[in-house]
């Protein structure tokens, strides 16, 4: 038999992850781990703990093991096959919530999210703007499944998810939007190999790869979006830190007005938006 302390001390370099995984396996809080460290655990828990920790050492993201990640104050359910929500993306979400409240009084508008992943963007907007109807589209099955689990978890009824390739997901629905937003794949294919191991080896490549220069989705979505945006509607993107100028240029070329960049907490370009003329 082995004790909680013995398991915890086996992985000194990953002590934080170790404690979080023990909490999950034993269904207890952190203080329990430190208070009752001499308690013995079953062989089943021990084996699972070692299996998870060996994966952590290889760079497997802990969020896929814990199956959750906080974003905008909401505890999202997560699994392998969707991008782990990033704090940087809260910049886009906070801007959109503020925009909905100021410009539309928080009410009666339709918003589209392209590439939903766990549903982090769509569901945060739906949660904080209860009188807004949110639509989310994704080409893959896993994001649709995970986002629907989160929709249930947060008890939201003002969100609808559809599967399909970009705007094709909306075929036959006859929808137009006041706001279209997206955190599309934006890493240049060549640069994926330079990303952190956790990202490049374990997060879905389809959610990262933006083609040769990383800008494919901005080109495709911006051009198509005009058919689906109301006049004066807002198009807003998360971007890579070095894409502010190139994405702004795409919007300007497609005829968008008021094109602007928002910076993240590190002072790096993180969001580009513009309005349809
Ligand atoms: N922000 C992510 C990263 O740095 C990339 C997400 C994306 O391509 N949309 O890995």
Query: What is the pLDDT at residue 174?
Result: 92
Mean pLDDT for the stretch of residues 146-151:
98
Mean pLDDT for the stretch of residues 240-255:
98
Query: What is the pLDDT at residue 128?
Result: 98
265/187: higher pLDDT: 187
User: How many Cα atoms occupy the beta-carbon half-sphere of 44 within 13 Å?
Assistant: 2
Q: 36-55 pLDDT, tens per residue?
A: 999 999 999 999 999 999 99
φ, ψ at 3 (rounded to 5°): -100, 165
Query: What is the pLDDT at residue 24?
Result: 97
Average pLDDT over the chain reads: 97
For the Cβ of 86 lying below 6 angstroms from any atom of ligand 1, the answer is yes
pTM equals 0.95
Mind spelling out the 3-state secondary structure of the chain? CEEHHHHHHHCHHHHHHHHHHHHHHHCCCHHHHHHCCCCEECHHHHHHHHHHHHHHHCCCCHHHHHCEEEECCEEEECCCCCCCCCCCHHHHHHHHHHHHHHHHCCEEEEEEEECCCCCHHHHHHHHHCCEEEEEEEECCHHHHHHHHHHHHHCCCCCEEEEECCHHHHHCCCCCCEEEEEECCCCECHHHHHHCCHHHHHHCCHHHCECCCCCCHHHHHHHHHHHHHEEEEEEEEEECCCCCHHHHHHHHHHCCEEEEEEEECCCCCEEEEEEEEC
Distance 44 CA to ligand 1 centre (A): 36
Query: What is the pLDDT at residue 1?
Result: 85
Query: What is the pLDDT at residue 163?
Result: 98
Is 179 in contact with 99 (CB distance < 8 Å)? yes
φ, ψ at 77 (rounded to 5°): -75, 140
Q: Is the pLDDT of residue 69 over 90?
A: yes
Query: What is the pLDDT at residue 182?
Result: 98
Query: What is the pLDDT at residue 19?
Result: 97
Mean pLDDT for the stretch of residues 220-249:
98
Of 114, 211, 240, 265, best ligand 1 pocket probe by most atoms within 8 Å of the beta carbon: 240
For the Cβ of 185 lying below 6 angstroms from any atom of ligand 1, the answer is yes
Alpha-carbon distance values, 131 to 100, 114, 136, 159, 214 (Å)? 10, 20, 16, 11, 35
Distance of CA 259 to the CA centre of its chain: 24
For the Cβ of 199 lying below 6 angstroms from any atom of ligand 1, the answer is yes
Going from N- to C-terminal start, the domains of the chain cover 2-58, 81-275
Q: 177-216 pLDDT, tens per residue?
A: 999 999 999 999 999 999 999 999 999 999 999 999 999 9
- CA 271/CA 186 separation, integer angstroms: 12
Alpha-carbon distance values, 79 to 9, 66, 83 (Å)? 27, 9, 9
Alpha-carbon distance values, 140 to 1, 76, 89, 144, 205 (Å)? 44, 18, 20, 7, 12
Give me the residues paired with residue 272 across strands. 237, 261
Q: 76-118 pLDDT, tens per residue?
A: 999 999 999 999 999 999 999 999 999 999 999 999 999 999 9
Is 113 in contact with 135 (CB distance < 8 Å)? yes
Atom of ligand 1 nearest to the CA of 199: 10
* 118 belongs to an annotated ligand binding site: yes
Domain 81-275: CATH class, spelled out: alpha beta
Alpha-carbon distance values, 196 to 56, 123, 144, 207 (Å)? 14, 27, 26, 15
Distance 185 CA to ligand 1 centre (A): 7
Query: What is the pLDDT at residue 221?
Result: 98
């Amino acid at each position: 038999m082995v004790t909680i302390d013995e398991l915890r001390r086996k992985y000194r370099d990953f002590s934080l992850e170790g404690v979080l995984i023990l909490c999950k396996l034993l269904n207890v809080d952190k203080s329990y781990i430190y208070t009752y460290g001499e308690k013995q655990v079953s062989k089943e828990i021990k084996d699972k703990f070692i299996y998870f920790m060996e994966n952590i050492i290889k760079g497997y993201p802990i969020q896929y093991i814990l199956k959750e990640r906080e974003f905008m104050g909401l505890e999202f359910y997560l699994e392998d096959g969707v991008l782990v929500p990033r704090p940087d993306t809260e910049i886009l979400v906070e801007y959109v919530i503020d925009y909905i409240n100021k410009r539309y009084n928080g009410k009666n508008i339709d918003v589209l999210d392209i590439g939903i992943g766990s549903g982090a963007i769509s569901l945060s907007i739906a949660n904080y703007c209860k009188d807004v109807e949110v639509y989310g589209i994704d080409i893959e099955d896993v994001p649709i499944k995970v986002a629907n689990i989160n929709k249930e978890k947060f008890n939201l009824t003002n969100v609808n998810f559809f599967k399909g390739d970009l705007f094709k997901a909306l075929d036959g629905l006859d929808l137009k939007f006041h706001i279209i937003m997206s955190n599309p794949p934006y890493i240049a294919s060549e640069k994926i190999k330079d990303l952190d191991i956790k990202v490049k080896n374990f997060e879905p490549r389809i959610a990262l790869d933006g083609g040769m220069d990383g800008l494919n989705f901005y080109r495709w979505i911006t051009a198509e979006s005009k058919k689906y945006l109301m006049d004066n509607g807002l198009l807003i993107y998360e971007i890579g830190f070095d894409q502010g100028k190139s994405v702004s240029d795409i919007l300007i070329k497609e005829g968008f007005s008021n094109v602007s960049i928002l910076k993240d907490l590190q002072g790096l370009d993180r969001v580009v938006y513009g309005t349809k003329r």
